[in-house]
Amino acid sequence: MGKVGAILGAVLLGALALALIIGGAIALVSEQALRTVDSAAEGRIPETVTFEAEKGKYGVVLFVRATDSEANDTRCDVTLANEKRKSFRGDVQAIAVSGKSKSVGEFEAVEGTTEVACRFVERDNELASQRFAVSKIHEGWRTGSLVAVGLGVVVLLLAFWVGFRGMLRGPKGGGRFGGTSRPA
């Protein structure tokens, strides 16, 4: 493969990488937006919502007009069907996605009646209110999205490597810096 072929290959790999990264990011944001439509329960901060949970992972998101600051200032307490309690904060998350809705946190639910109580901290609690939703997380969708983004990054690095190697080739594909190779 000559210099032109290597550069063309790098450009094509770069385009594929960007498509994977952008597609994965859009899918990740879409999964979160779907949670506001497909919710198990909805409420307003500072309310407590109750719903019948299936065993699985659930997430709490603030609705469309929420700001990142509001998500960071949100604290939620969950009481599971087995009476165990879990708490989480919007400013401490393993995966935080900010699209039109803002994620607050996630929890593993057991089957049965589950309560979620959310509140704001560091705000005038008498005036602060925001809609929130609790919904089951679409694990396959999220995993596929993250894999697409990760694969896109790997392909992008490969594109840079192919392009860099192509730039170092001479006009006839000779030695490292454009010279010709000589047998030893």
> Model pTM?
0.61
pLDDT score recorded for residue 74: 87
Is the pLDDT score of 115 beyond 70? yes
Per-residue pLDDT reduced to its tens digit, 71-105: 778 899 999 999 999 998 776 665 555 556 678 88
Confidence of residue 50 (pLDDT cuts 50, 70, 90): very high
Q: What CA–CA distance (Å, rounded) separates 45 from 29?
A: 23
- Sign, Cα dihedral of 142, 146, 147, 149: positive
Q: What CA–CA distance (Å, rounded) separates 152 from 170?
A: 29
pLDDT score recorded for residue 105: 87
Confidence of residue 35 (pLDDT cuts 50, 70, 90): low
56-62 β-sheet, strand order? 41-45, 130-136, 56-62, 102-109
Task: Please give the mean pLDDT across all residues of the chain.
Answer: 80
Average pLDDT in the 152-164 region? 91
**Domain 37-138, CATH class in plain words:** mainly beta
pLDDT score recorded for residue 113: 95
For the ranges 4-8, 27-31, 59-63, 160-164, which has the lowest average pLDDT? 27-31
Q: What CA–CA distance (Å, rounded) separates 141 from 164?
A: 35
Contact 93, 37 (CB under 8 A): no
SS3 169: coil
The residues spanned by each domain of the chain are 37-138
Is the pLDDT score of 144 beyond 60? yes
Q: What CA–CA distance (Å, rounded) separates 168 from 184?
A: 22
Q: What CA–CA distance (Å, rounded) separates 52 from 81?
A: 9
Instruction: Please tell me whether the peptide bond between 183 and the residue prior to it is cis, using omega within 30 degrees of 0.
Output: no
| Partners of 109 in the β-ladder | 56
